[in-house]
Amino acid sequence: AQSVTQPDIHITVSEGASLELRCNYSYGATPYLFWYVQSPGQGLQLLLKYFSGDTLVQGIKGFEAEFKRSQSSFNLRKPSVHWSDAAEYFCAVGNDKIIFGKGTRLHILP
């Protein structure tokens, strides 16, 4: 069955610290991969996407993600978080229908 797993429901990091949000997927073929961010009361904003090519993808707001086919993972990283990064992050995969993970809520300590 197709699925997306974000194992961390909540993550808390200090402002200025590095961040890694995990995403693993189960899919028949290599799907298209996305990371979205959702701030309270808002819709989803695309951070980055991977279709093919270089497995290290750069996105907006200083985020990057690395596709690892052997691990079926697409982890999101940021070298130094800002208080404004506090939000919920969703990993998504799919070719025709997009499947979302349950999300990881990021909390930032001042």
Chain residues that interact with other proteins, rule: CB under 8 A: 31-32, 36, 41-46, 49, 51, 90, 92, 94-103
φ, ψ at 11 (rounded to 5°) = -135, 135
Instruction: Identify residue 14 by its one-letter amino acid code.
Output: S
Q: Which CB sits closer to other proteins, 59 or 85?
A: 59
Q: Which CB sits closer to other proteins, 62 or 94?
A: 94
Q: Which CB sits closer to other proteins, 4 or 13?
A: 4
Which residues are paired to 100 by β-bridges?
A: 92
Q: Which CB sits closer to other proteins, 41 or 110?
A: 41
Q: How far is the CB of 60 from other proteins (least distance, A)?
A: 12
Comparing CA positions, the residue from 72, 78, 19 lying closest to residue 50 is: 72
CB 90 within 8 A of CB 49: no
Residue that has been written with the tokens 């991977």 in this structure = 50
